[in-house]
Amino acid sequence: MGGFPPSPALGRRSVFNQPGGYAALSSFSPIHNIWSYLEWPRPQASTRKLYAQAAQRFAEEFGPTPLGEVERLSARTWALGVPRNLSKIIGTMYEDARNVGLVEANPFSNLRLPVSEKTEEIQAPTLEEYRRLLDACTVLGGHGTEFRAMIQFAAWTGIRAGELHAMRWDDVEGDSIWVRRSRKTDGSIGRPKNGRERKIVLLPPARVLDQVPRREDGFIFHTARGEPLQKGNHHYAWRAVRAASGIPQERAENGQPDIRWHDLRHFCATQLLEMGLDHFAVSVQLGHEDGGALVMSRYGHPSKQAARERLLRAFELDVAESGRAIGSK
């Protein structure tokens, strides 16, 4: 393949001025070059662009510093001043390099940064707002029934918009759904986020596909004209429904952010937590691979009172059946 063989000595080369093959691989910083050299660039053009942007931001700060000499304190200080996704990307690149011996340590590992989207900043639709959105679908006329089903399906499966756009009838198997693909912003079909297929549950409130007409192309959801969903035509209808619901005006008056389509995913997470599901179960439905850590940090338990009530119910027994309640002597 050419270039330098993996070696810890590469960690002593400058972050911004690599010689030879590395410099030829990219105009961005050598951490991006190393990632390209190891043949680990992500398959999607949009992802590669984001990684390049992260590498550029990193090089602007650490250009003169050798890769292996970036200290954890400096890494943390920089990470706190940039969008969280950028610092995560640099951490991923460093970890790739560490795994093959290009650097001895990853200064971005386990930095314990505060979450970028705190629980109080996530304002998922309430049940009342969700119902108002469903009612507002009548603004779309004959397409309202299908769009209403689309909202219900998204709100109770937690799938992302691109995954919804690419969902096919053969992805639905009884009470399960296979999330196998995602429609990208350019209209092309690719793998879901993280590049992995996943199997999730078709929960009862999402079982509304009998309200959606089947079309020859095999995709489940379409526009009013029967065209495949893409970001533009989907959000055209979404904006009309959202406006008809009256929610944007109320939220603006209360100093709250407007509802985005992606907030239906947050709605799914918060509602499942309210119902008493554990963080791991919710993470499986959302497609996370961290055992529930992100769900825990992002959502916590939306209602502490509901959590207290669940605790009390957990210790309730039928006294006539058990002879005594748990905890009594």
- Predicted local confidence at residue 35, as pLDDT: 52
Handedness of CA 247, 159, 191, 110 (dihedral sign): positive
Please tell me the distance from the alpha carbon of residue 57 to that of residue 269, in angstroms, as a whole number.
33
Tokens 């009594």 correspond to 328
Tokens linked to 205: 């409130």
- List beta partners, residue 179: 198
In this predicted model, what pLDDT tens digit does every residue of 124-179 receive, in sequence order? 999 999 999 999 999 999 999 999 999 999 999 999 999 999 999 999 999 999 99
Question: What domains, with CATH codes, occur in the chain?
Answer: 8-99 (no CATH), 127-260 (1.10.443.10)
- Predicted local confidence at residue 101, as pLDDT: 80
What residues in the chain have per-residue pLDDT under 50?
1-29, 37-38, 117-120, 319-329
Please tell me the distance from the alpha carbon of residue 219 to that of residue 228, in angstroms, as a whole number.
7
H helix count then E strand count, the chain:
15, 5
Note the pTM of the prediction, 2 decimals.
0.62
- List beta partners, residue 176: 173, 201
Number of other residues whose CB lies within 10 A of the CB of residue 146: 20
Decide if 265 contacts 259 (C-beta within 8 A).
no
Query: By percentage, how much of the chain surpasses pLDDT 90?
Result: 43
Number of other residues whose CB lies within 10 A of the CB of residue 141: 9
User: Measured between alpha carbons, how far is residue 74 from residues 56, 79, 116 in Å?
Assistant: 17, 9, 19
Tokens 């386990």 correspond to 110
Tokens linked to 10: 């590469």
Beta strands in 136-254 (DSSP E): 172-173, 176-179, 182-183, 189-190, 198-201
